[in-house]
């Protein structure tokens, strides 16, 4: 029940395309859902986050869509660029709790 | 220096060696974490310290021993490791509690190879 399931494990997208990464959770007590981005040789860094009281949050080309009833949330990267090539982790947490991470998605954006 | 810095960046050790990983945060945070990143379990929480006290230990083998002498420094002491302990060890910090904002600030990691 503490797991966050992430898919796909890897993703190849052409430059200018839309990248979509999905996550699902079971614990309805989770109330914070961030996405982290990790470039090779670097630690993960917070990219964008959402709380369950909204269904969508957009920051530039990055959008989180949240479906509370389905217990799913996804990251959409519009107009994907080679510089977006990285590993993306979804996560979830409860108030006062630690983050539970998904297994990551390695995104490659081809020129 | 800014952010979270980890040393050494790379470490090769034998199974009988004793070594330590060091982490320092310059963000004024009061919680620090050790994560293990490997192909099998990409971001596995090992230890959490809040206000210099250990608040969580996720069933980590005793060959890993953390130390938090103050809110800015965190160590991971390593002894008699196994080859399967080879991984990237990431340090992170946050304003307690991380679950409220979800924002962890990670270092670049220490790549450990156990021969």
Instruction: Give the model confidence (pLDDT) of B84-114 as tens digits.
Output: 999 999 999 998 765 556 689 999 999 999 9
| Residue B81: pLDDT band with limits 50, 70, 90 | very high
What residues in B contact A49, CB-CB < 8 Å? 101-103
Beta strands per DSSP E along chain A? 4-7, 10-14, 19-25, 33-38, 45-50, 56-59, 62-67, 72-77, 86-92, 100-101, 105-110
Q: If you measure CA to CA, which chain A residue comes closest to B10?
A: A41
Q: Over 70: is that where the pLDDT of B64 sits?
A: yes
Q: State the Cα–Cα distance between residues A101 and B38, nearest whole angstrom.
A: 13
What residues in B contact A96, CB-CB < 8 Å? 97, 99-100
Residues of chain B above pLDDT 90, percent: 70
| Residue B57: pLDDT band with limits 50, 70, 90 | confident
Q: State the Cα–Cα distance between residues B56 and A56, nearest whole angstrom.
A: 33
Please give the pLDDT value at position B103.
85
Which of these, A11, A1, A31, lies nearest to A104 by C-alpha position?
Answer: A11
What residues in B contact A98, CB-CB < 8 Å? 33, 45, 48, 56, 98-99
Please give the pLDDT value at position B51.
80
The parts of chain A modelled with pLDDT lower than 70 are: 1, 96
CB contact under 8 A, B103 and A91: no
Please give the pLDDT value at position A68.
93
B-facing residues of A in 16-75 (CB < 8 A) are 32-34, 36, 41-46, 49
> Tens of pLDDT along A51-81?
889 999 999 999 999 999 999 999 999 999 9
What residues in A contact B45, CB-CB < 8 Å? 98-99
Query: Of A7, A98, A100, which to mutate for an interface test with B (greatest number of B Cβ within 10 Å)?
Result: A98
DSSP structure class, residue A98: P
Average pLDDT, chain A: 94
| Residue B54: pLDDT band with limits 50, 70, 90 | confident
Q: What angle do CA A79, A83, A88 make, to 5 degrees?
A: 85
Please give the pLDDT value at position A97.
74
């Amino acid at each position: 029940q503490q797991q966050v399931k992430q898919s796909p494990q890897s993703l190849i997208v052409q430059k200018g395309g839309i990248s979509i990464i999905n996550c699902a959770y079971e614990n309805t007590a989770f109330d914070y859902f961030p996405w982290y981005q990790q470039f090779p040789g670097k630690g993960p860094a917070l990219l964008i986050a959402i709380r369950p009281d909204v269904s969508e949050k957009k920051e530039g080309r990055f959008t989180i869509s949240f479906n509370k009833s389905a217990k799913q949330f996804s990251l959409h990267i519009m107009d994907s660029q080679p510089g977006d090539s990285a590993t993306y982790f979804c996560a979830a947490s409860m108030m006062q709790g630690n983050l539970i991470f998904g297994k990551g998605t390695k995104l490659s954006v081809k020129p | 220096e800014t952010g979270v810095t980890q040393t050494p960046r790379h470490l090769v050790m034998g199974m009988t060696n004793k070594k330590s990983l060091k982490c320092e945060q310059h963000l004024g945070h009061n919680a620090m974490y050790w994560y293990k990143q490997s192909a099998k379990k990409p971001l596995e929480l090992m230890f959490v310290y809040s206000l210099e006290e250990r608040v969580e230990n996720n069933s980590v083998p005793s060959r890993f021993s953390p130390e938090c002498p103050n809110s800015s420094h965190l160590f991971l002491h390593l002894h008699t490791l196994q080859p399967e302990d080879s991984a990237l060890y990431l340090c992170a910090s946050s304003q307690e509690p991380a679950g409220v904002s979800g924002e962890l600030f990670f270092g670049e990691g220490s790549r450990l190879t156990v021969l």
